[in-house]
A = this chain, B = another copy of it.
Amino acid sequence: MNPVDALIDALPGGRVLTDRDVIDSYARDQTYLEPGEPLCAVVAQTRDEVAATLRWASEHRVPVVPRGAGTGLAGGATAVEGCVMLSLARMTAIRELSPADEIAVVEPGVITADLDRAAREHGLMYAPDPSSYEISTIGGNLATNAGGLRCVRYGVTRDSTLGLEVVLADGRVLNTGRRTMKGVTGYDLTGLFVGSEGTLGVITAATLRLRRAPSVPPITIAAEFPSPRAAGDAVAAIVAAGCRPLLLELMDRGTLEAIDAWKNIGLEPQVRAMLIAQAEGDRPEEAALMERLCEQNGAGFVAVSGTPEETAELIGLRRLAYSAKERLGACLVEDVCVPRSALPAMITFIEEAAARHDARICTVAHAGDGNLHPVFIFDRGLPEPPPGVWAAADEVFRAALDLGGTLTGEHGVGLLKRRWLGLEAGPVVTEVQQGIKRVFDPLGILNPGKAI
């Protein structure tokens, strides 16, 4: 029997998709990367269907590329030649939400913001909020250890993950972690799967930590700066003063122009960067301090939001940043992260690299974490970024590492950053990671060629 027929036999009707156009719609993420041609796609609805698919894949040595919503920015969910695209997007149940224990048990296809909304009904929240949270899935967030705006305060996805149900490459089910706040029985397998980009197993359920939502609406500040460097200095000052903002985001002129061109925000010519900061609603003195520190570092105009609507609008603009840039051309998105004190230096370097290579770079940053997204914009007609963009990107990666930073703060390595991996991970790390990969996936069928 042809392998695909065997798979169709092994699953309930309608799970295996073989129509070329349909499959193609599962083959890409948000990068420009050209996918390989998948054999078929599977849209799983239960853990057992995932297990059956993986048993089949092991038997037939077919590569498996897990996929959530395909919003990834690193090529993690990009099809490899002859693979099955395994979509978890239909596993959308929130199985349990316990206000008493402040946890939720969810399936991987749950949209991030849906979980947050469900938690809010109980005065809780799901903290990790990538800008994509209205479209990304929890499974994708877990597999990339996604960050977001609120992470400066509440940590990344791993910090909200207590336990996982994972299907291994051979179809066996592994349960990791726990429902409790603490636990040290055995090795931290939960943490190992978070951020593993679908290369160690397929996540079919997660026990997540919820947090108490602030009861008073936050105070939001938007400060305009004459240079990104000045905004970076303000960030460093805010951190050094011991403020604990709920979020602290930076946008450069290019980003603001892209948003202005789309949404007409009335951007003034002298504004070269904007900082958005949020303090807890019952900490007006912290909001005032952040405002003062912005002014001391050269902010021309500082607006303090009054109403929740104004706040939502401001944060909404920030969340549009990426889509606004996409309107300008194809995007190569970097995700470097540096020690927070190095933020101003990194910003300056990015500007210089752009100038040196005549590359168009717009930068947004989860500034409170030192995590920058320089977005290189290039002609959509080109099959891949032109040499000037690669040269600038390369310099930015190296500068981040020189400053004590890392290649990727939250998007993952995927396919896109593999060529730089050797700069950060030495030979011992590489060998150890490959050893771990072999423990979980001895045949190498899970998302081959990605992440490590």
- The answer, yes or no, to whether A301 is at the interface (CB within 8 Å) is no
CB distance from A67 to the nearest CB of B (A): 18
Which residue on chain B has the smallest CB distance to residue A400?
Answer: B180
Which residue on chain B has the smallest CB distance to residue A425?
Answer: B186
- The answer, yes or no, to whether A59 is at the interface (CB within 8 Å) is no
Indicate how many identical chains form the complex. Answer: 2
- The answer, yes or no, to whether A349 is at the interface (CB within 8 Å) is no
CB distance from A407 to the nearest CB of B (A): 5
Q: How far is the CA of A338 from the CA of B178 in the complex (A)?
A: 9
- The answer, yes or no, to whether A113 is at the interface (CB within 8 Å) is no
CB distance from A205 to the nearest CB of B (A): 15
| A156 interface neighbour in B101, B182, B404, Cβ under 8 Å | B182
Which residue on chain B has the smallest CB distance to residue A144?
Answer: B184
| A99 interface neighbour in B240, B421, B428, Cβ under 8 Å | B240
Stretch of A80-88, A290-298, A432-440 at the chain-chain interface: A432-440
User: Do B145 and A184 have beta carbons less than 8 Å apart?
Assistant: yes
| A158 interface neighbour in B102, B188, B244, Cβ under 8 Å | B188
| A436 interface neighbour in B172, B175, B417, B439, Cβ under 8 Å | B439
Stretch of A37-45, A316-324, A408-416 at the chain-chain interface: A408-416
Q: How far is the CA of A303 from the CA of B181 in the complex (A)?
A: 28
Most chain B CB inside 10 Å of its own CB: which residue of A100, A103, A179: A179
| A341 interface neighbour in B100, B188, B240, Cβ under 8 Å | B100
Q: List 11 A-B contacts (CB under 8 A).
A: A145-B184, A145-B188, A151-B182, A168-B428, A174-B432, A180-B405, A182-B370, A185-B407, A186-B413, A186-B452, A432-B439
| A182 interface neighbour in B98, B196, B239, B337, Cβ under 8 Å | B337
Binary CB contact string for chain A from 330 to 370 against chain B (1 if under 8 A, 0 otherwise): 00000001111100000000000000000000000010011
Chain B residues whose C-beta falls within 8 Å of the C-beta of A425 in the assembled complex:
185-186
User: Do A195 and B189 have beta carbons less than 8 Å apart?
Assistant: no
